[in-house]
């Protein structure tokens, strides 16, 4: 049973426009959420995170929104750049337990 | 700069061979993890360890074992490699005292079992 779901396997966006990546979760005990970015043949790198006590966290071009009542979070990238093309993983955690990852969304930013 | 290193970037082995994948971190992290990544399946947790000589099964431990004799090193062992273990293997580490819950990943080992 998937606790973290990324229902869009892929997304294509034009350069300069907004990219919105979505993630849903089922476990209400999750208290921290993270986004990782992965290029081919490299390990994932941490991008941005949000605590369950917040509904928004912003870091430069990246903003994560959390809607606890809907058990939904989203990552906004504005403006999108070709270098943002990668696989994005949503992850969630409760306490000092391993992160639970979604299956990932492949973002392609077209110049 | 924090670093997680994995012994090989690419590895080719034959069915039935015993395979060792090594992971070393230089951040004095307590927690270490092994994942495999497959297309359409995301990152799946194989084993993890919260301390030296401790290990916990993840979601897909079958066919694998691990060893953590030193804090900085976490080894993944495929006792008898099979073709369905062809995958990208990723090691990660974290600390409860660091930036909350963030896991640092190594570059991965692409294992092909023929």
B21-35: pLDDT as tens digits:
999 999 888 899 999
Cα separation values, B106 from A4, B81, B94, Å: 23, 22, 12
Cα separation values, A18 from A61, A81, A110, B38, Å: 10, 10, 12, 28
- What is the Cα–Cα distance from A11 to A21, expressed in whole angstroms? 8
* Least CB–CB distance from B106: residue in A9, A43, A98: A43
* Least CB–CB distance from A98: residue in B45, B100, B106: B45
Q: What is the pLDDT of residue A94?
A: 86
Residues present in chain A in total: 111
Minimum distance, in Å, between the CA of residue B12 and any CA atom of chain A:
16
For chains A and B, CB pairs below 8 A equal 54
Q: What is the pLDDT of residue A97?
A: 78
- What is the Cα–Cα distance from B50 to A88, expressed in whole angstroms? 26
Q: Which residues of chain A have pLDDT under 70?
A: none
Would you call A35 an interface residue with chain B, using a CB distance cutoff of 8 Å? no
Q: What is the pLDDT of residues A24-46, one digit of tens each?
A: 999 999 989 999 999 988 899 99
* Least CB–CB distance from A32: residue in B58, B90, B100: B100
Report chain A residues whose CB lies below 8 A from the CB of B104. 46
Query: CB distance A9–B40 less than 8 Å?
Result: yes
Q: What is the pLDDT of residue A1?
A: 72
Q: Which residues of chain B have pLDDT under 50?
A: none
């Amino acid at each position: 049973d998937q606790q973290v779901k990324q229902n869009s396997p892929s997304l294509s966006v034009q350069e300069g426009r907004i990219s919105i990546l979505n993630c849903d979760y089922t476990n209400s005990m999750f208290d921290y959420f993270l986004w990782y970015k992965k290029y081919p043949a490299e390990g994932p790198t941490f991008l941005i995170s949000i605590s369950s006590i917040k509904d928004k966290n912003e870091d430069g071009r990246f903003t994560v929104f959390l809607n606890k009542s809907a058990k939904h979070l989203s990552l906004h990238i504005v403006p999108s750049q070709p270098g943002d093309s990668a696989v994005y993983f949503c992850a969630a955690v409760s306490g000092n337990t391993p992160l639970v990852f979604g299956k990932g969304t492949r973002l392609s930013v077209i110049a | 700069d924090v670093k997680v290193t994995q012994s090989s970037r690419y590895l080719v082995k034959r069915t039935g061979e015993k395979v060792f994948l090594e992971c070393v971190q230089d951040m004095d992290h307590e927690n270490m993890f092994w994942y495999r990544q497959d297309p359409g399946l995301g990152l799946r947790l194989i084993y993890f360890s919260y301390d030296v000589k401790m290990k916990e099964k993840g979601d897909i431990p079958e066919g694998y074992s691990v060893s953590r004799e030193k804090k900085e090193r976490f080894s993944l062992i495929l006792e008898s490699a099979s073709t369905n273990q062809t995958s990208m293997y990723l090691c990660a580490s974290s600390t409860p005292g660091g930036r909350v819950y963030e896991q640092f990943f190594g570059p991965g080992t692409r294992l092909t079992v023929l």
